[in-house]
Structure 1
Amino acid sequence: MNEQHTISILVHDQPGVLQRVCGLFGRRGFNIDSITVGSSEESGLSRMIIRTTGDERTVEQVEKQLNKLIDVIRVVPLSASPMVARELALIQIKAEPPLRPEIMGVVSAFRASVVDIGHHSMIIQAVGETDKINAILKLLEPYGIMEISRTGTTAMTREIPVETQLSRSSQAADAV
């Protein structure tokens, strides 16, 4: 059964790493639903958060293949544990002055914010889970969406139990 999977990949911050990781997904016939990449808590390392759809067995194979790439430090299947996931969207909509109070009702209901107002448009910033972003887009659609820019999902697992932290620390020490 195909389902959503979120994977965290810690990699060396080197040219070509993103291409190699994306190429691996392509060779496996996997579509990347979203990808975010940014610096991590460790200097010289970046973290990729990839959201994809597939069955459990195939995702496990992709994880194994990712671990074989030379610039990959660690692969963590985030959706296997309780996690926090967020996405950011900037949404530019048509907003003539008489409709703005109505639009503001939608914005406040989603705890979103207006970050720019023009003569005939507004830019709304929404942050939340993908379903929340999709829901606000659906409600704003009748006003006329002019442009959307979405970050893709970024995520991390909730608090890691102490025994897991200790075993990871000993594994890291053994690797050195």
Structure 2
Amino acid sequence: MQKEYTVTVYTEDRIGITNRITVIFTRRQINITSLTTAETEIPGVYKFIITVLSTREKLDKVVGQIERLIEIHRAFVHEEDEVVYQELALYKIATRNLNNHNIEQLIRDNNARILTITADYVVIEKTGHQQELLSMLKQLEPYGLIEYSKSGRVAIVKWSRRFHEHLKDLSLKQAEL
């Protein structure tokens, strides 16, 4: 049965690694719905957070293939209850609608905040899960929505402490060389 999973991949910083990872998903005909990557707290180690709709069996095979790549430290498949995650959305609406007190209440009720106000537009920021961000999008449409942009998932795995200790040990060993 297909459902949403989060795949985390810890890599070295190498040119082309994103392509090499995504090709493995493509070959298995798994569509990536979100991909975020950034350096971890350990210098030189990067974390890919990949969201997909798939079956666990397919993903276990994909993770096995990913881990065979030389630049990969480890890769994991996570169920929704194994990660704490958020996404970020930016909404641009016409400034003329700021005079409407309903919009202020809407921003407050959604725990959002105003980032920028210009003569022409206002940019509002909200963090949350995808459904929350889409709900606010629908609520803002009547107020003259100009543009909408959403980030990929940012996640922390609940049980990853031992693995992070392992990565820190690797980092110390490399520093000694």
TM-score range, shorter chain: 0.7 to 0.9
What per-residue deviation string (whole Å, max 9, x for no partner) do you get for residues 76-132 of structure 1?
A: 223265321101111111231464422111111111101011223210001111121
8 Å contact 2:98–2:104 — kept in the other structure? no
Query: Any residues of structure 2 matched to 1:4-153 within 5 Å, and which?
Result: 4-79=4-79, 81-97=81-97, 99-153=99-153
Q: Which amino acid aligns with 2:133?
A: I
Query: Once the 2 structures are TM-superposed, how far is the Cα of residue 152 of structure 1 from its aligned partner?
Result: 0.7
Q: Which amino acid aligns with 2:20?
A: R
Unaligned runs of 5+ in 2: none
Count of residue pairs the alignment pairs up: 168
4+ runs of 1 displaced by more than 6 Å?
none
C-alpha distance in structure 2 between counterparts of 1:12 and 1:143, whole Å? 45
Taking a change above 3 Å as real, the CA distance of residues 96 and 80 of structure 1, as seen in their structure-2 partners, is closer
Q: Which amino acid aligns with 1:18?
A: T
TM-score, normalisation: structure 2:
0.85
8 Å contact 2:97–2:103 — kept in the other structure? no
Which SS does the other structure have where 2:79 is aligned? Answer: helix
- 1:165 and 2:162 matched: yes
C-alpha distance in structure 2 between counterparts of 1:73 and 1:47, whole Å? 10
Q: CA RMSD in A?
A: 2.3
Q: Which amino acid aligns with 1:71?
A: E
Query: Once the 2 structures are TM-superposed, how far is the Cα of residue 66 of structure 1 from its aligned partner?
Result: 1.1
Q: Which amino acid aligns with 1:20?
A: R
Q: Which amino acid aligns with 2:78?
A: L
Report % sequence identity: 26
Taking a change above 3 Å as real, the CA distance of residues 9 and 135 of structure 1, as seen in their structure-2 partners, is same
Q: Which amino acid aligns with 1:141?
A: E
8 Å contact 1:115–1:124 — kept in the other structure? yes
8 Å contact 2:112–2:125 — kept in the other structure? yes
Query: Once the 2 structures are TM-superposed, how far is the Cα of residue 59 of structure 1 from its aligned partner?
Result: 1.4
C-alpha distance in structure 1 between counterparts of 2:78 and 2:41, whole Å? 17
Query: Once the 2 structures are TM-superposed, how far is the Cα of residue 33 of structure 1 from its aligned partner?
Result: 0.3
8 Å contact 2:12–2:44 — kept in the other structure? yes
C-alpha distance in structure 2 between counterparts of 1:146 and 1:98, whole Å? 14
Q: Which amino acid aligns with 2:33?
A: D
C-alpha distance in structure 2 between counterparts of 1:77 and 1:51, whole Å? 10
Query: Once the 2 structures are TM-superposed, how far is the Cα of residue 31 of structure 1 from its aligned partner?
Result: 0.8
Taking a change above 3 Å as real, the CA distance of residues 146 and 108 of structure 1, as seen in their structure-2 partners, is same
Unaligned runs of 5+ in 1: none
8 Å contact 1:92–1:121 — kept in the other structure? yes
C-alpha distance in structure 1 between counterparts of 2:38 and 2:68, whole Å? 21
Query: Once the 2 structures are TM-superposed, how far is the Cα of residue 149 of structure 1 from its aligned partner?
Result: 2.0
